[in-house]
């Protein structure tokens, strides 16, 4: 008995060193996705369930009344809190979240334009005031394209053991925030792309005080005899105090009023469901699986809200509710296979690489047997494709490992046999049995982690790389895609000097980047003049006249701060995938609990009530 305890102790030591380290402070888990496919047909919106683990644990311990039993309740959450451990998140469409991302981008662009043009116009009053405020010269409307979907794998969500294993052969692409580098205009034009009223408010023509005395040069009979110092770049005299005061005034206005408008706009975009009533959303649901389609709906959940230090606004996403095209479905399953195989090939041991075929086969078969596809023509071909994809490689691979060599019979029998073999290897890693004899010598980590990680942890972790998909795919493969938005405080400039794509540094990149930066410098435009004096036959007389600004036309004089600084919050967004039973990264606190100061920014819709009608619970 003693040796057995020793063995367990020893093996737990081994586990602690090499296995996954799912930490105890993981709080928010994606619980069983419950799409209730039949319920959708009855007009109920699909949703996901998430679990707050610390509350769930206390809930499992049973009720506890702190007033009656203060001793027994010590260190436990209040019972009401423990009871509120499950939250329902309605699903949104990927397309709708892309539209939300586009609107967030446009809100930023609007702020960026207002910030710059307010400063430029106020500084260059009256010339710019005439051109932009009075005459209303302006460019096209801001119309950012729909931002591309980009998957990010937040490294804080992935267990370090998986990352270690997957990066042994080389670095792994984890993606970036989908919004990284997108806080910029699509085109930096020398004219504003917002309505003049957006930045001309409260501005009038201002001729006095005098801003400058132009720099000049004097020509006598075509020969230069004098030029003011710094001509043509510098005026003869410049009213620096007034210029600084004007810039400061404009910046203050932009950073307080216009920035607040940006914040309000973002809050409105993020927290308003689309469409605006539950009934409109429900009307988009069809009566049978074939007509469900991909209703464009955005149903956000403020997980404490998006503000800095708060949390996130979260919306699980689907690409379509139920696929109806077997060919498209098969293509998608293949892309899942490629993503999955790429990861397990990197992170898995020999046995795990073989077992991937079984694991994938079982999930895909569950998918194809889903009720949603009953009677769909073409599904038989898809099922055959699956067998073709898996069977031959699996059978040949089983011959390479001693522990799998006995696996024969039908595909299902091979699959069950491989699952048993996997269990044997796992036990051997944990100290029960001889690993070498089983041919699993390369197996360093346990296949089934000790705790906090349902399923086979490597196969689950790899799901963070799977793209968003439809409800039956989520259900069969056990994961879900999420859209998340939150504010990040960044100290940078406007336009952001970091907005250069370093993945391919080339001349084109640099030129467009340099133009973006230069076109938004804070400058005062002044006009140097030339005084040309010459004796003309008019009859003979001396004429001295200022000619058009020569030698460089209007000249820019850079005014501090030269480039507009920005060190405030702005909203970023991303798309992530979360395996079932694993952590939802990037969130804090409790869903459906927007922090108090959000209501100062926008009139909050009571989302709990809204979704109660949608979900029917």
Interface positions, 5-64, toward another protein (CB under 8 A): 25, 27
Which of 7, 135, 143, 328 is the binder for another protein (CB under 8 A)?
135
| From 196, 278, 326, 586, residue interacting with another protein (rule: CB under 8 A) | 586
- Picking from 106, 484, 43, 439, the residue whose alpha carbon sits closest to that of residue 266 is 106
Q: Which of 286, 342, 454, 589 binds another protein (CB under 8 A)?
A: 589
Q: Is 560 in the site for another protein (CB under 8 A)?
A: yes
Q: Which stretch binds another protein (CB under 8 A): 40-48, 133-141, 196-204, 475-483?
A: 133-141
Per CB under 8 A, the segment of 130-138, 219-227, 322-330, 332-340 that binds another protein is 130-138
Q: Report 84-113 residues binding another protein (CB under 8 A).
A: none
How far is Cα 103 from Cα 142, in angstroms, rounded to an integer? 11
Options 588, 599, 612, 616; binder of another protein; rule CB under 8 A: 588
Looking only at residues 239 through 268 of this chain, which bind another protein when binding is defined by CB under 8 A?
Answer: 240, 244, 247-248, 251-252, 255-256, 259
Residue with tokens 């989302």: 607
Please report whether residue 213 would count as binding another protein according to CB under 8 A. Answer: no
Closest CB to another protein among 83 and 331? Answer: 83
Q: Is 209 in the site for another protein (CB under 8 A)?
A: no
How many CA atoms lie within 13 Å of 600's alpha carbon, on the beta-carbon side? 6
Counting contacts by CB under 8 A, is residue 349 touching another protein? no
Question: Closest CB to another protein among 416 and 492?
Answer: 492
**Total binding residues toward another protein, as defined by CB under 8 A:** 85
Nearer to another protein, 518 or 544 (CB): 518
Q: Does 486 bind another protein (CB under 8 A)?
A: yes
Of 537-556, which residues contact another protein (CB under 8 A)? 548-556
- Tokens, residue 275: 């469409």
How does DSSP assign 259-280, residue by residue?
HHHHHHHHHHHHHS-BSSSHHH
Secondary structure (3-state) at 8: helix
233 near another protein, rule: CB under 8 A: yes
Please name the residue that has the structure tokens 């992530």.
576
Q: Does 558 participate in binding another protein (rule CB under 8 A)? A: yes
164-172, 218-226, 463-471, 564-572 -> range binding another protein (CB under 8 A): 564-572
Identify the CA nearest to 257 among candidates 115, 117, 113, 108.
115
- Choice from 1, 491, 538, 609 touching another protein (CB under 8 A): 491
Residues 6+ apart with CB under 8 A from 610: 273, 278
Cβ neighbours of residue 314 closer than 8 Å, sequence gap 6 or more: 89, 300, 301, 302, 303, 482, 483, 484, 584, 587, 591
Scanning 66-74, 321-329, 339-347, 580-588 for contacts with another protein by CB under 8 A, the matching segment is 580-588
Measured distance CA(334)–CA(337) in Å, rounded: 5
- The burial class, CB within 10 Å (0-12 / 13-18 / 19+), for 384 is exposed
**Phi-psi domain of 43 (left: phi exceeds 0; alpha: psi -120 through 50; beta: other):** left
Q: Which of 529, 534, 546 is nearest to 216 (CA)?
A: 529
Tell me if 193 contacts another protein by CB under 8 A: no
Find the shortest distance in angstroms from Cβ 201 to another protein. Answer: 19
The two structure tokens encoding residue 548: 């058009």
Among 308, 392, 420, 535, binds another protein (CB under 8 A): 308
Report the site for another protein in 152-181 (rule: CB under 8 A): 152, 154-157, 174, 176-177, 180
d(CA 435, CA 428): 5
Half-sphere exposure (CA, 13 Å, Cβ side) for 99? Answer: 14
List Cβ<8 Å contacts ≥24 apart for 3-11.
7/431, 8/431, 10/431, 11/430, 11/431
CB of 437 to another protein, least distance (A): 40
By CB under 8 A, the residues from 418 to 457 that bind another protein are none
């Amino acid at each position: 008995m003693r040796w057995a305890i020793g063995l367990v102790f020893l093996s737990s030591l081994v586990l602690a060193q090499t296995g996954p380290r799912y930490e105890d402070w993981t709080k928010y888990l994606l619980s069983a996705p419950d799409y209730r496919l039949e319920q959708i047909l009855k007009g109920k919106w699909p949703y996901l369930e998430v679990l707050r683990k610390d509350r769930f644990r206390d809930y499992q311990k049973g009720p506890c009344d702190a007033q009656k039993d203060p001793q027994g309740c010590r260190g436990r959450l209040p019972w009401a809190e423990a009871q509120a451990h499950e939250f329902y998140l309605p699903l949104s469409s990927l397309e709708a979240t892309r539209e939300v991302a586009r609107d967030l981008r446009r809100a930023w662009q609007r702020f960026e334009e207002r910030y710059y043009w307010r400063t430029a116009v106020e500084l260059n009053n009256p010339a710019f005031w005439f051109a932009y405020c009075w005459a209303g010269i302006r460019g096209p409307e801001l119309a950012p394209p729909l931002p591309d979907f980009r998957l990010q794998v937040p490294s804080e969500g992935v267990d370090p053991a998986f990352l270690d294993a997957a990066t042994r052969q080389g670095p792994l692409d984890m993606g970036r925030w989908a919004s990284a580098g997108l806080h910029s205009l699509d085109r930096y034009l020398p004219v504003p792309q917002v309505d003049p009223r957006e930045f001309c408010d409260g501005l009038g023509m201002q001729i006095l005080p005098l801003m400058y005395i132009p720099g000049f040069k004097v020509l006598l009979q075509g020969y230069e005899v004098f030029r003011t110092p710094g001509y043509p770049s510098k005026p003869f005299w410049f009213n620096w105090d007034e210029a600084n005061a004007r810039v400061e005034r404009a910046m203050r206005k932009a950073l307080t009023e216009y920035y607040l408008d940006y914040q309000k706009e973002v809050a409105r975009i993020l927290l308003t469901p689309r469409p605006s009533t539950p009934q409109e959303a429900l009307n988009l649901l069809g009566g049978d699986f074939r007509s469900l389609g991909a209703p464009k709906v955005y149903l956000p959940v403020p997980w404490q809200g998006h503000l800095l230090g708060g949390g996130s606004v979260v919306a699980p996403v689907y690409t379509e509710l139920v696929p109806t095209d077997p060919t498209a479905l098969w293509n998608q399953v293949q892309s899942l296979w490629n993503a999955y195989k790429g990861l397990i090939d990197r992170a898995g041991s020999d046995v795990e690489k073989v077992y991937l075929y079984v694991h994938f086969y079982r999930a895909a078969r569950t998918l194809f047997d889903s009720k949603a596809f009953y009677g769909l023509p073409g599904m038989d071909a898809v099922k055959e494709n699956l067998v073709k994809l898996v069977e031959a490689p699996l059978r040949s691979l089983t011959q390479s490992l001693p522990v799998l060599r006995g696996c024969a019979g039908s595909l299902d029998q091979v699959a069950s046999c491989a699952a048993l073999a996997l269990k044997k290897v796992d036990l051997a890693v944990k100290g029960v049995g001889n690993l070498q004899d089983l041919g699993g010598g390369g197996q360093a980590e346990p296949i089934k982690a000790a705790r906090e990680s349902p399923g086979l942890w490597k196969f689950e972790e790899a799901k963070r790389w799977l793209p968003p998909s439809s409800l039956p795919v989520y259900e069969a493969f056990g994961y879900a895609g999420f859209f998340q938005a939150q504010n990040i405080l960044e100290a940078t400039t406007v336009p952001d000097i970091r907005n250069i794509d370093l993945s391919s540094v080339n001349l084109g990149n640099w030129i467009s980047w340099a133009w973006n930066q230069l076109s938004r410098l804070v400058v005062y435009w002044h006009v140097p003049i030339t005084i040309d004096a010459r004796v003309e036959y008019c009859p003979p007389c001396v004429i001295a006249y200022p000619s058009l600004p020569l030698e460089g036309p209007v000249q820019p004089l850079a005014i501090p701060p030269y480039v507009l600084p920005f060190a405030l919050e702005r909203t970023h967004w991303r798309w992530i995938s979360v395996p079932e039973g694993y952590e939802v990264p990037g969130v804090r606190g409790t869903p459906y609990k927007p922090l108090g100061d959000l209501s100062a920014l926008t009139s909050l819709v009571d989302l709990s009530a809204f979704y109660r009608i949608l979900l029917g619970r």
